[in-house]
Amino acid sequence: MYKVSEVIVVEGRYDKNTLSQIVDATIIETSGFGVFNDREKQKLLRMMAEKQGLIVFTDSDGAGFVIRNFIKGCVPKEQLKHAYIPDVEGKERRKTKASKEGKLGVEGMSPEIIINALRRAGATIEGEGAQKCAKISKADMYAKGLSGKADSAAKRLELIKKLDLPEKMSADALLQVLNVLMTREEFLNM
């Protein structure tokens, strides 16, 4: 498993599932074109980019480039890196027929192609120059009353509002975002 410091942005859940088997990173889905009208997600992407940088990792088809270009318009270019997969003809295993353009997407790529694409994009990969620091854990969330207790949902919502994050975030999603926005020490001292 490769630990990537930047936040990786993908189109959908199958791309996220594929990447999460290869890399240890915060991975955010755009929900395809759903990001176009989702101001909260756009705001989250800008916030994550500012704190940690984003790697846009969309499919190499027309739709992937439309989404990529939209994100380019939302996030300052100095906070963006772009990972590109090669054009490979075929269809993903879960699909009955190939995509409109007949190309494999991120979910259909091999681990080697994905890692090489991230390296070419300039990803910060632990052991290849990244620095390791303590992360906020689920136990830390529990100790702060943000999970596992009767009033945890209310406390999470309060923190989400305080940090100006999307309200529908799960505890796990919040944990990922907190690890991008602050150090463990900052979290424990809140």
Q: What is the mean pLDDT of the segment spanning 162-169?
A: 73
Task: Answer yes or no: is pLDDT of 131 > 50.
Answer: no
The pLDDT-based confidence of 16 (bands split at 50, 70, 90) is very high
pLDDT in tens, 34-89: 999 999 999 999 999 999 999 999 988 888 889 999 999 999 989 999 888 877 77
Residue that wins the pLDDT comparison between 135 and 26: 26
Contacts of 6 (CB under 8 A, 6+ apart): 25, 52, 53, 54, 55, 81, 123, 124
Q: Containing H/E element for 69?
A: helix 62-74
Find out whether 135 and 128 touch, Cβ atoms under 8 Å. no
Q: What is the mean pLDDT of the segment spanning 105-115?
A: 90
- Lowest mean per-residue pLDDT among 85-89, 105-109, 124-128, 153-157: 85-89
Query: Which residues pair with residue 2 across a beta bridge?
Result: 23
Tell me the pLDDT of the chain averaged across its residues.
86
Task: Answer yes or no: is pLDDT of 153 > 80.
Answer: yes
The pLDDT-based confidence of 130 (bands split at 50, 70, 90) is very low
Task: Answer yes or no: is pLDDT of 30 > 70.
Answer: yes
